[in-house]
Amino acid sequence: MEPDLHDQFLEALERKYGARDLVTSRFGTSSFGDIAKDLCISASQFSKLISGTATQGMYMRSIENIALLEKLDILEADRNALQADKNQLREDISRMRTGINRKVRNKVLGYGILAFLAGAILTWLLGFSEGLGLFARPEALEHPLTRYFDADFNTAYDSPYLNENEVQEYCPCSAFEGVWALEAEYKLPLPGNKRPGVYYLAKSADVRMKCAKSQKSASGAGNHLLGYEYLVNEIWVDTEETPLSPTYFDKETKTFTRAYHELDFNTNPKFKKLATIHSFFINNFTITPDSILRNGEPCGRFATDVDWVLAKEYGVDPRYILENVLADLTTTDCNKIPNPFCDPNDLKEGESVIGFDCYYTIRTENLGIGRGYPYRKAFKLIKQNYSDNLLCECE
């Protein structure tokens, strides 16, 4: 963690809520519990942030969410100011019962239109921010199952995680329970389109892992883990429609070229973003002392921020990509990996990673390269539900 992230977090809290009071555990008039709710995190996560023991990712997300809350405060203040102006105008109009001249009428009309337009713009920003990606509320950035997995410990709810009296029985999967995230972005070409140059960019994956009690093995060990994954990805179009091979893919070695790995869609002007894709996926992990196997199935996806003009110009059908191309991507072939955590006590928040080498192809067309396009998808442990000593043996 960067040494100043903790200080930046505390400064952001004081800027938003007021000076910190160590005696009452408050920032201004807001308690730690109230602030945790505003940031959509648990009390235990907030305690780690305050004490300086949280991960770099936790600090960065929390600082960003505080900035979003401050933007919403500014918008709310602007709306209140406009409402006050409108109320004053109504009072002025009520006093102008007779003798009002054209100049005054035009002024009143101008202020009224200004107030109406400002209110309409504010409603648009707040009401459609999630779909447009502007001033998104913190809750819009959450995993869909946050309310079920991450409620405050004082909240009346039944956690899907194991109870403390169950963790030894379901070892080793009990050590994997908690919050995981995509370790790094990855990109893939999307074949199956009429013209070349369409790409998939995996931006983030927010995962909640829990033991699968219904699949407990006969020996009583917890070898089965479920991962509920919320993915945010993007579709990009190469406006120059460069063929994938040989510039970006070597068919002889069946590997991507250096030029492909160095592609940055955001900074390369020939690439334009077509859409943002939101997906939900259920992973099923089988954990043994020497290996981890990942299987799963999609549970639906939808597109936002679709550039329909771009789609029409380059002959790309977003619906076809959702229903056919990405449907195949979520049933790709992944290799079983060696288990780097045969001793589950080796798992560490912010450090531990499980990564899978996978291959992607399209069932409806022959790519002529055998198994498919290679890529790596890896998950990093962000927050572990249970981290005390586990007693299952590593053979």
Per-residue pLDDT of the chain (395 residues; tens, 9 = 90+): 455 888 888 998 889 888 888 878 888 888 888 888 888 888 888 888 888 888 888 888 888 889 888 888 888 887 887 887 777 777 777 666 555 555 545 554 555 555 555 555 544 444 444 333 333 344 445 788 888 888 776 778 888 999 888 888 899 999 999 999 999 999 989 876 778 899 999 999 999 999 998 765 555 568 899 999 999 999 999 999 999 889 998 888 888 999 999 999 999 999 999 999 999 989 999 999 999 999 888 888 888 899 999 999 998 888 888 877 776 655 567 889 999 999 999 999 999 999 999 887 665 444 556 667 888 999 999 999 988 888 887 77
C-alpha to C-alpha distances, 117 to 31, 91, 124, nearest whole angstrom: 37, 20, 10
Helix/strand/coil percent split, the chain, to 5: 35, 25, 40
The residue type at 299: C
- Model pLDDT, residue 137: 41
- For residue 235, give the amino acid letter: I
| Residue that has been written with the tokens 């196997």 in this structure | 293
Residues 385, 176: Cα–Cα separation, whole Å: 8
Task: Specify the pLDDT at position 114.
Answer: 56
Cα 241 from Cα 164, distance rounded (Å)? 56
Burial 167-203 (b: 16+ CB within 10 A, else e): bbebbbbbbbbbbbbbbeebbbbbbbbeebbbbbbbe
CA 55 – CA 173 distance, rounded (Å)? 22
Nearest to 303 by CA among 329, 276, 327: 276
Taking CA atoms, 139 is separated from 79, 82, 91, 130, in Å, by 22, 27, 39, 10
Distances 283 to 113, 224, 294, 379 between C-alpha atoms, Å: 53, 10, 7, 12
Place of tokens 């993007």: 234
pLDDT at residue 104, rounded to an integer: 46
Residues 6+ apart with CB under 8 A from 247: 257, 259, 260
Q: Which secondary structure element, helix H or strand E, spans residue 186, and what is its range?
A: strand 186-189
Q: Which contiguous run of DSSP H or E holds residue 110?
A: helix 102-127
Strands of the sheet containing 30-31, edge to edge, are 20-21, 26-27, 30-31
Instruction: Decide: pTM greater than 0.85.
Output: no
Distances (CA, A) of 27 to 16, 21, 24, 123: 9, 6, 9, 30
Q: Which of 127, 125, 150 is nearest to 37 (CA)?
A: 150
Closest by CA position to 198, among listed 358, 326, 7:
326
